[in-house]
Amino acid sequence: MNNDEQDSINPDLRVCCAGGTFQRQALLNCMRFVSFMVLILLTANSVAMDANKVMQSLLHDHRVLIIFTPAADQEHYAAQNTILAQQPAGLDERDMVIIRVVAPDTVTMDGEKAVNMVNSFQERYAVKPDQFRTVLVGKDGSVKLEQSTPVTTDTLFNLIDAMPMRQYEMLKQ
């Protein structure tokens, strides 16, 4: 990018550039933040927000791992969180968003809390309030994996990396 092109870039956008090289991670973080802020604003303004709308907002841009648990202190839930915490770069590289559905009343997306959506997520993915379940949803919106025990990052990454869309992404990088 020459100096004329760089000068024509919106100054706010220049924050996401370093020496003319686009910073993919900054953009992903911005997209996640914007997606979640839309979710929060819709919820706060009492507009009907449900799992379908959340998932639709993530379609094509993110792969989503949904973790359902009957309680925050449940053993499988703690194990799943520990597993995921060990591979943040791998999750980011694969455009992953983590949604945690903790019965009876908490849904978080990348650490940000939303309200009144637990039942909607449980109904959409046919998960009972007393069940632990992990569900991987691809960028195309289809369920790629469901299991009732914590999923390892090896399993997640191998499955995702074998997907045609991910193969294409890796070729572009």
Q: Is residue 142 predicted with pLDDT exceeding 80? A: yes
Rounded to whole angstroms, the Cα distance separating 76 from 87 reads: 18
Q: Are strands 96-102 and 106-109 parallel, antiparallel or unpaired?
A: antiparallel
pLDDT score of 80: 98
Q: Which of 29-38, 112-121, 124-133 has the lowest mean pLDDT?
A: 29-38
pLDDT at residue number 11: 42
6-30 average pLDDT score = 50
Residue that the structure tokens 């909607």 belong to: 120
CA-closest candidate to residue 36, choices 20, 49, 18: 49
> What's the whole-number average pLDDT of the chain?
82
**Better-scored residue on pLDDT, 144 or 116:** 144
| For residue 139, pLDDT beyond 60 | yes
Over residues 145-158, the mean pLDDT reads 97
**Over the stretch 55-89, which tens digit does the pLDDT of each residue have?**
999 999 999 999 999 999 999 999 999 999 999 99
Out of 22-36, 101-115, 120-134, 139-153, least confident range: 22-36
Is residue 99 predicted with pLDDT exceeding 60?
Answer: yes
In terms of Cα–Cα distance, which of 111, 105, 130, 95 is closest to 36?
Answer: 111
Q: Look up tokens 């959506």; give the residue.
A: 117
What is the reported pTM? 0.73
Q: Which domains does the chain have, with CATH numbers?
A: 50-172 (3.40.30.10)
Q: Lowest-pLDDT range, 13-22, 32-41, 46-55?
A: 13-22
pLDDT (average), residues 128-157: 97
Q: How confident is the model at residue 16 (pLDDT cuts 50, 70, 90)?
A: very low
Is the pLDDT assigned to residue 125 strictly greater than 60?
yes
